[in-house]
Amino acid sequence: MKEEGRIRYTGVMYYSSLAYDAVERVVTANRLDFIQITYSIISREAEKRLLSLAMDCGIDVIASRPFA
């Protein structure tokens, strides 16, 4: 659909670090434009697992619940 011009961006979002294994698999298997993940001063699991992966893959990150 993206190649046809029917959609502009693709991405995934998840609200809990419990699914970060699945998010990692999706990120490495697909060409995404963004991921939306929980990331805050209190919830920093994404920092350990997903931020560098997103940077390496050229994927933008939307931080949800930044003030937790």
Distance between CA atoms of residues 28 and 42, nearest Å: 26
Residue 66 predicted with pLDDT over 90: no
> Is position 6 within any domain?
no
pLDDT (0 to 100) of residue 48 = 85
> Is position 2 within any domain?
no
> Is position 4 within any domain?
no
Residue 19 predicted with pLDDT over 90: no
> Is position 41 within any domain?
yes
Residue 24 predicted with pLDDT over 90: yes
Query: Number of folded domains in the chain?
Result: 1
Residue 14 predicted with pLDDT over 90: no
**Domain that includes residue 43, residue range:** 11-64
> Is position 50 within any domain?
yes
Tokens of 53: 């992966």
8 A C-beta contact, residue 28 and residue 14 = no
Alpha helix ranges (H) inside 30-64: 45-49, 51-57
Q: What is the pLDDT of residues 26-61, one digit of tens each?
A: 999 998 999 999 888 888 888 888 999 999 999 999
Distances (CA, A) of 2 to 33, 37, 49, 61, 62: 11, 22, 28, 19, 20
CB atoms within 10 A of CB 20: 19
> Is position 1 within any domain?
no
